[in-house]
Amino acid sequence: MKTNHDLRLTVTLRLLDGEGRRRFGPGVAALLEEVREQRSLRAAAASMGMAYSKAWRIVHTAEEALGHKLLDSTIGGRHGGGAALTEEAEALLAAYRALREEVNAFAQERFKERFRDL
């Protein structure tokens, strides 16, 4: 067998709730990191080409499942205030990124091994 070895492996990690619904994964993680950068959920959504209502729903759905806030809103200003990541969101992101890194390294290693002879 001569499988095309230009194919590369990607690993996606997601947190699902009891009903199997996606609650946290690459999308929420990227959105939170963009909020950290932009200091605003609205600006983060815009820079990702995402409707604000969708970004809000993603964050809200994750918060509900996790049982804690991910964003601290700062009130006021004519642009409706900004947002910062909560301490819990930072800890979650750090754990998620570290886990992803570690699992990905393991997976790439094993992929090379298992797909070498295909």
Task: Please give the residue ranges that form the binding site for a second copy (CB under 8 A).
Answer: 1-4, 6-18, 23-24, 65-68, 87-88, 91-92, 95, 98-99, 102-103, 106-107, 110-111, 114-115, 118
The number of beta carbons lying within 10 Å of the beta carbon of residue 76 is 9
Please give the structure tokens belonging to residue 113: 């091994």
- What is the smallest separation between the CB atom of 61 and a second copy, expressed in angstroms? 12
- What is the smallest separation between the CB atom of 37 and a second copy, expressed in angstroms? 22
Give Cα separations from 96 to 42, 46, 50, 76, 100 (angstroms). Answer: 24, 24, 22, 32, 6
Please say which residue, 4 or 53, places its beta carbon nearer to a second copy. 4
Please say which residue, 12 or 53, places its beta carbon nearer to a second copy. 12
Please say which residue, 18 or 77, places its beta carbon nearer to a second copy. 18
- What is the smallest separation between the CB atom of 92 and a second copy, expressed in angstroms? 6
CB environment 17-46: b (16+ within 10 A), e (fewer): eeeeeebbbeebbebbebbbebebbbbbbe
- What is the smallest separation between the CB atom of 54 and a second copy, expressed in angstroms? 21
Strand-pair partners of 22? 16
